[in-house]
Structure formats: C-alpha cells, structure tokens
Structure 1
Amino acid sequence: MNADSIRQMIETGFEKAGLPGARADVQGEDGVHFEATVVSEAFAGKLPLARHRMVYATLGEKMGGEIHALQLRTITPAEAAA
C-alpha cells in the first residue's frame, strides 16, 4: 500500500463511493502507517468522528489490514481557507 493509492481510494472510492470533490493529501513512508488531510464539502455540519467514518468507509476492508493506521485531519473547504 502506498500514499498515492490511499489518496485515489479516498477521492474516487474503493469498495464504496469515494468522497466526490474531495482533495486528499496522504503521507506515509513505511507502507502501513499514514497521515492524511482530507478536504471535502461533504464534511459540512458533521462532527469529527462522523467525518472520519466517512473516510474510513471509502477504504473499506483495507483499514486494519493493509492500512494499519491512518491519522486523519478532515476539514471543509471553508475551514481550509481560514
């Protein structure tokens, strides 16, 4: 697993639909531990836990398997601009 593959899964989907219009910046050098900042309008009005669950849903069974750990920062475009 690599950071670019995770970015693509978040933005376009894997087992489920991705987050349409999302932008993801994913970092991770060891192939199992990653950090991601995900910017999506879909996060508006949602608490952080709900936002994280939305991202995890795009990754499906890869979470806890090929992706051992994923540290997330989930923000809306307005929050990113602030």
Structure 2
Amino acid sequence: MSARSDVEATQNQMSSGVTPEHLKAALEQRLGAVHVDIIDMSGGCGQMFEAIIVSPQFAKKTTLARHRLVNAALKDEIAAIHAWTPKCNTPEEWEKKQAQA
C-alpha cells in the first residue's frame, strides 16, 4: 500500500501517529535500545515498517521472546499500522554483525 503523493503519505502518518521517529523514540525509551534503525517499507504511507533493534534486554531470550517483548512495548503503534518486521539483536550480536560487514 503506497501513498500516491507526499501529501497523502504525510496525512496517513499523521492519522496513525506512527512515524519512524516515533517508533525509534518509543523503542529507545521502553526497551532501553542502544541502536534502532527504522525503515518505512511502504513507500512513505507509514503503514509498513522494518526495524533493527539492539537492546541488552534481548540477552538470553529466544527470537520469539524478543519479538514478543518488542510487540508488547509497541502494542498501540503496531495496532495502527499494516505490517511490522523487527530484527532483534543484543549489543554483542550487533557488534559481531558489524565487524563481519
């Protein structure tokens, strides 16, 4: 679902209240995330996001437990959008990935 114009994209984001900046701030505050990258995959309409989230709270948790933690932290925001894809890493895992890149 892609917005037909920049104006329409802005209106969609304003009506849902969900922007990449809002999601980033919420994750930093609610999960103590030390690194967050939010990508709007919807072409600007603010309805489909992919996120890379790095938080020490993910330590010793399975992928499913990490996703549940994120989904609980963003319950209201996720309800207002169409699609959400989190990629969760601990700081140590993120450092390894960056070193390999």
Segments of structure 1 that go 5 or more residues without pairing to the other structure are 13-17
Matching residue within 69, 76, 81 for 2:83:
69
Q: Percent identity?
A: 34
Alignment check: 8 A CA contact 2:27 2:33 kept: no
The question of 1:37 aligning with 2:49 is answered no
Q: So what's the TM-score if we normalise by structure 1?
A: 0.83
- Opposite residue 27 of structure 1, the aligned amino acid is I
Alignment of 1:1-82 (within 5 A): 1-12=18-29, 18-28=30-40, 29-64=44-79, 66-82=80-96
Residue 15 of structure 1 corresponds to none
Shift of residue 58, structure 1, vs aligned partner: 1.2
> Counterparts of 2:38 and 2:83 in 1: how far apart (Å)?
12
Segments of structure 2 that go 5 or more residues without pairing to the other structure are 1-17, 97-101
Which is greater in Rg? 2
The number of residues matched between the two structures is: 76
> Counterparts of 2:25 and 2:33 in 1: how far apart (Å)?
12
Q: Structure 1 segments of 4 or more deviating over 6 A?
A: none
> Counterparts of 2:64 and 2:78 in 1: how far apart (Å)?
16
Q: Which of the pair is proportionally richer in helix?
A: 2
SS of residue paired to 1:45: coil
**Residues 26-67 of structure 1: CA distance to partner in whole angstroms, max 9, x if unpaired?**
110320100000001110110001101111111122213x22
